[in-house]
Amino acid sequence: MDKILRINMGGQGGPEIKTEPMGDYSGLAGRAMTSGIVSKEVPPLCHPLGEDNKLVIAPGMLSGSLAAMSGRISVGCKSPLTGGIKESNSGGQPSQVLARIGYAAIVIEGKPADDTLYKVFINKDNVEITPDNSLKMLGNYDLVDKMKAAHGDKIACISIGPAGEMKMSAASIAFTDMELRPTRHAGRGGTGAVMGSKGVKVIVLDGEGTQARSPKDPDKFKEANKAFTAGLKKHPVTGEGLPAYGTNVLTNILNEAGAYPTNNFSSGRFDGAGKISGETEAETETARGGNPTHGCHKGCVIQCSGIYNDKDGNYLTKQPEYETIWAHGGNCGIDDLDAIAMMDRLDDDYGLDTIEMGATIAVAMEAGLAKFGDAEAAIGFVKEVGKGTPLGRVLGNGAAVTGQVFGVERVPVVKKQAMPAYDPRAVQGIAVTYATTPMGADHTAGYAVTANILGVGGTVDPLKPEGQVELSRNLQIATAAIDSTGMCLFIAFAILDQADTFQALLDLISGFTGAGMTGDDVTELGKSVLKNERNFNAAAGFTAADDRLPEYFKKEALPPHNVTLQVTDEELDSVFNW
């Protein structure tokens, strides 16, 4: 992983391919790499779909090695949804394969002369880019089947569906899983639209003849990897809860807490939650011959994913995760697991962010386009998006646009990106992160380890009201750092609770890179990523006024606890005073 691949789609005689040394970006990976390149090379005021925007795809620091959990990949660009910087990350196989081939990043830049669609093929010896208009408007599933037929089943694909080609702001980029299905997505922020604007339909990675990346200190690395894996396996969340039920184990909990956004964030409780809970989902999968315990890439030892079969026992989709079940389920008043799984399949095929789509459909329901709970209508809306009908074009551009078109006031977005599955009135700490992360409302932007473990920003006194602000700041720093390692964020629970597992992670990184790594280094890495991102947004015109939740959260009390948002603007503005 010592070079950067640049593909200029706007070259004189067609796309131009160039391989460069790491230069200024030496030592960077994952989110640090994507945000580093975007903040340095993309003019903040450029049009997200124009020639000056760049799409950066970067494996994590440990991707391609034998380190457990290290296969996450980051995608960065200026977001067509938020207008700010975006890092969206995904699981799947491509991170491992791209890293083994040796690229620390693929940068797609410029703008093609016409609407020709291209396929990129990369193996250890070669990079080819060929026009292929036969791929136009193919869904991700058919597209990957076609790639398999042409290149065999040892490949990994990065692709867009029709939504990306239509440059919709809810369009995702798909990454194939271990079974070569396009089920993992860099979902948030419309990265798929940027890939579509560059005219690239698919990047095929062939890792034939490549080796696992070797660590600088093999003994230390091996020992640390063993301790790290054992730590993950012994923790109740990473070793039991997530493998058994996946992230959807949260449905019953959030619902019990009255923090489960229901019917477009109008209540914190959903009567049908039990029917779509993780427990019910796992039971359904097992009964139908699916599998509730499955990894999204080789080397995942937590295995929070699964296989969801239809009533006849045929594969329908991967196990939809908590956010998806919520977005297409409770947030739309829908308690039919099969209908939700069908929407997950359609989203993956068209290449759409499930959170944005679910939130958008709920806004459409609020506007009166269908009734809450009408699963058939909801599926119909997703299909409209896939076909690109006029209504589909509106919905495919997200909740903010849909709310504006249909005159809805209750639109749960920050920086135009839809909020995920936690009502910020009930869990006010998450409100701070939703409001202030440079990414737009995002739950993963504060998902990781905290101050007291990493030694970031001192120890938080939980009794002080500013605890929420400090926690959010520290979590955002730690998340930015973990996103740069390529580690799945779900490792956070084990390293949060078990000091020896956190030490094993630090040893794993230093065993691999040969450089010592301390908690302070992690902090500095996270801070520098956030600084780059915030500077980009400021130059793109973002101000403190963009670090706010919609006003109705302060005015409308959320049942059952009847709470309103109490976090003050001053508190929000102090998050990045470090």
Instruction: State which of residues 399, 460, 481, 549 lies at the interface with other proteins (CB under 8 A).
Output: 460
Q: Of residues 538-567, which lie at the interface with other proteins (CB under 8 A)? A: 560-561, 563, 566
490, 238 in Cβ contact below 8 A?
yes
Q: Contact region for ligand SF4 (CB under 6 A) — 12-20, 36-44, 290-298, 326-334?
A: 290-298
Q: Does 400 bind ligand SF4 (CB under 6 A)?
A: no
Q: Does 428 bind other proteins (CB under 8 A)?
A: yes
89, 74 in Cβ contact below 8 A?
yes
Q: Does 443 bind other proteins (CB under 8 A)?
A: yes
Residues sharing a CB contact under 8 Å with residue 230, sequence separation 6 or more, in sequence order: none
Q: Does 278 bind ligand SF4 (CB under 6 A)?
A: no
Could you give the count of Cα atoms lying within 13 Å of 327 in the half-sphere of its Cβ?
Answer: 27
d(CA 18, CA 326) in angstroms, rounded, equals 43
Q: Contact region for other proteins (CB under 8 A) — 312-320, 328-336, 347-355, 428-436?
A: 428-436
- H or E element, residue 407: none
Pairing of strands 118-122, 127-131: antiparallel
Quickly count helices (H) and strands (E) in the chain.
Answer: 24, 17
Least distance in angstroms from the C-beta of 573 to other proteins: 19
Nearer to other proteins, 14 or 455 (CB): 455
Report how far apart, in Å, the C-alpha atoms of 377 and of each of 138, 171, 372, 388 are. 23, 21, 9, 16
Nearer to other proteins, 69 or 475 (CB): 475
Q: Of residues 451-510, which lie at the interface with ligand SF4 (CB under 6 A)? A: 488, 490
| Size of the residue set binding ligand SF4 (CB under 6 A) | 12
Sign of CA dihedral 325, 328, 333, 337: negative
Q: Which residue matches tokens 């959320």?
A: 558
Q: Does 346 bind ligand SF4 (CB under 6 A)?
A: no
Could you give the count of Cα atoms lying within 13 Å of 94 in the half-sphere of its Cβ?
Answer: 33
Residues sharing a CB contact under 8 Å with residue 253, sequence separation 6 or more, in sequence order: none
Nearer to ligand SF4, 91 or 215 (CB): 91
d(CA 341, CA 54) in angstroms, rounded, equals 33
Instruction: State which of residues 77, 302, 342, 529 lies at the interface with ligand SF4 (CB under 6 A).
Output: 302
Nearer to ligand SF4, 323 or 349 (CB): 323
Least distance in angstroms from the C-beta of 291 to other proteins: 16
> Which spans of this chain sit near other proteins (rule: CB under 8 A)?
236-238, 240-242, 244-245, 247, 249-250, 252-254, 256-259, 269, 274, 277-280, 283, 287, 304, 322, 422, 425-430, 443, 446-448, 450, 452, 460, 462-465, 467-468, 471, 475, 490, 492-493, 496, 560-561, 563, 566
Site of interaction with ligand SF4 (CB under 6 A): 69, 91, 295-297, 300, 302-305, 488, 490
